Structure 1
């Protein structure tokens, strides 16, 4: 089952936020709303979003300035931004939007199906990226574990060799020799168990006799 991702809606107009929420609700994701650029930045520093839908015309910190702040921070710079604007489309405004790092620029009123499909693409991209990060982390851990196991195997082999040498050195003391031999047998059993666990899956061993 695909886990829910977070989507940030930024608009100073409450009706616009309600409309965006209605359009995106069928995607069944977690929707966060911000009514200013400052509020959007606080949320972005607290949560990880798959995409931001950002209104251009807002009092105080407008959409362009908000996007600039988003792209300056390492924590948020890779979050896709879709600009939404109620003004007449112009080459200059769209160019400025792309220049500050937006991936798309839509003019209101927009087709709800188009917006929903665009957001769905970024949801899927976010999920696939998250899976890739998890797999990379797991692989790195497996490599570290394999190296640690290899070091343990080398140490175990060294202990076994020392015990074998010690058994020969104390041949005059039967009790001590038996104790050393028992330790050597235990270490040998651990080595055999370790070899069985660490051998490649499905490996076929030859059996004498």
Structure 2
């Protein structure tokens, strides 16, 4: 089952937020509302959003300024922004929207199905990116574990070699027996380690 992602809707008009919520509700994701650019920035610093639907014409910090702030922060710069506005697209506002980092620009009234399908694409992209990051972290940990095991094997081999040397040069029979016993124990550990490593290697080869 796909986990829910978060979507941020930014508009100073409550009716517009209600309409957006109705359009996106069928996607069954977590919807967040912000009524100003400042409120949107606070939410973005606390949550990871799959996409932001951002109104252009807002009092105070407008959509363009809000988008600029979003793209300046490392934590939020990669979040896709879709501008939604009643401004005529031919006025140059669309160009300005793309210039500040928006991935799309829709002029009201827009087709609800078009908006929903665009948001669905970014939801899927967000999920795939999250899975990729998890797999990368797992692979990194596996590499670290393998390096640690390899280092342990080298150290174990060095100890075994050193004990063999001590056993051969020890003049006292009691000391020699103790050293030999330790060497046998280390050799047993080495054999067990080699067996585990061999089995793991065969498993990986079989997977390939």
TM-score norm. by structure 2 comes to: 0.92
Q: Describe the SS at the equivalent of 2:181.
A: helix
Report the CA distance between 1:38 and its aligned residue.
Answer: 0.2
Q: Describe the SS at the equivalent of 2:59.
A: coil
Change (3 A) 1:203 1:137: closer
Aligned partner of 1:201 in structure 2 is 202
Alignment of 1:41-80 (within 5 A): 41-80=41-80
Q: Describe the SS at the equivalent of 2:32.
A: strand
In structure 2, stretches of 5+ residues that fail to align are: none
Change (3 A) 1:202 1:128: closer
1:192 aligns with 2:158: no
Aligned partner of 1:102 in structure 2 is 102
CA distance in 1, matches of 2:30, 2:177: 68
Report the CA distance between 1:201 and its aligned residue.
Answer: 2.1
Change (3 A) 1:103 1:202: closer
Q: Deviations over 1:80-123 (max 9, x none)?
A: 00000123332401111111111111111211111110000001
Contact persistence 2:11–2:35 (CA under 8 A): yes
CA distance in 2, matches of 1:191, 1:2: 44
* Structure that is richer in helix per residue: 2
Report the CA distance between 1:176 and its aligned residue.
Answer: 2.4
CA distance in 2, matches of 1:145, 1:202: 16
Q: Describe the SS at the equivalent of 2:118.
A: helix
CA distance in 2, matches of 1:123, 1:4: 9
Q: Describe the SS at the equivalent of 2:202.
A: coil
CA distance in 2, matches of 1:126, 1:203: 30
The Cα RMSD (Å) is 1.6
Alignment of 1:1-209 (within 5 A): 1-170=1-170, 172-199=171-198, 200-202=201-203
CA distance in 1, matches of 2:182, 2:2: 52
Q: Describe the SS at the equivalent of 2:92.
A: helix
Report the CA distance between 1:2 and its aligned residue.
Answer: 1.2
Q: Deviations over 1:27-76 (max 9, x none)?
A: 11111110000000011111111100000110000101100111111111
In structure 1, stretches of 5+ residues that fail to align are: 205-209
Q: Describe the SS at the equivalent of 1:148.
A: helix
Contact persistence 2:17–2:33 (CA under 8 A): yes
The count of aligned residue pairs is 203
